[in-house]
Chain A
Amino acid sequence: AQSVAQPEDQVNVAEGNPLTVKCTYSVSGNPYLFWYVQYPNRGLQFLLKYITGDNLVKGSYGFEAEFNKSQTSFHLKKPSALVSDSALYFCAVRDPLYNDYKLSFGAGTTVTVRA
């Protein structure tokens, strides 16, 4: 089985401050991990992924995420948040040992960046 949890429904930060969105996962093997962002009335946009290799992954719009196997986490980070980063963020996982395609998504975290 595979699952992912986003423990925070909402994250509020001031513009220019660091932004962290938390994600923990559960899989039997080594995970494939993804972050997506959704702006109002839009589909999901891919931000970054971890498949293998370096634990620190860099993605679009200045976002990065760190894979931590011992803590089964894949937190999304941005050093300096912008008002335009306000959106709904989803973490997703796939266990490649057990399926080739089905992603399991977290419930989402709403990020609000105040000016």
Chain B
Amino acid sequence: GAGVSQSPSNKVTEKGKDVELRCDPISGHTALYWYRQSLGQGLEFLIYFQGNSAPDKSGLPSDRFSAERTGGSVSTLTIQRTQQEDSAVYLCASSPRAGGGHEQYFGPGTRLTVT
């Protein structure tokens, strides 16, 4: 079946602009996760959704970052007033639910470059 999809695959933006990154999880998966992968930082957890709610926003690096999930499916990660240090690959993952031994299924990522 279809996996996790993300769009756009690549995004180049100017410093100070806002960007929106989209994630479409696997159908039926209630848990959704955002990670950031950057050189020297590895994989950083950003935010987790269970259904529509975001129980854990602890990984968001600043208040310029926000995320929402509508209808328990598609999620958007918004970065306001982008900075060069926001340049990274943003990965989305989903799993049938949190808890248990479920693995997370990852999308291909969005490569964000802030110039």
Instruction: Give the interface of A toward B (CB within 8 A).
Output: 32, 34, 36, 41-46, 49, 51-52, 90, 96, 100-108
Contacts and interface: CB of A to CB of B under 8 A. Distances in A.
B48 A43 contact: no
Nearest to B31: A101
Nearest to B50: A101
B31 A45 contact: no
Interface of B is mostly: strand
Given A49-B103, A101-B50, A102-B48, 14 more contacts: A32-B101, A41-B111, A43-B108, A44-B93, A46-B103, A51-B101, A101-B31, A101-B56, A102-B56, A104-B45, A105-B42, A105-B43, A106-B42, A107-B42
B43 A90 contact: yes
A43 B103 contact: no
Interface residues of B, number: 24
Contacts of A102: 45, 48, 56
A30 B6 CA distance: 33
Interface in B83-107: 91, 93, 95, 98-99, 101, 103-107
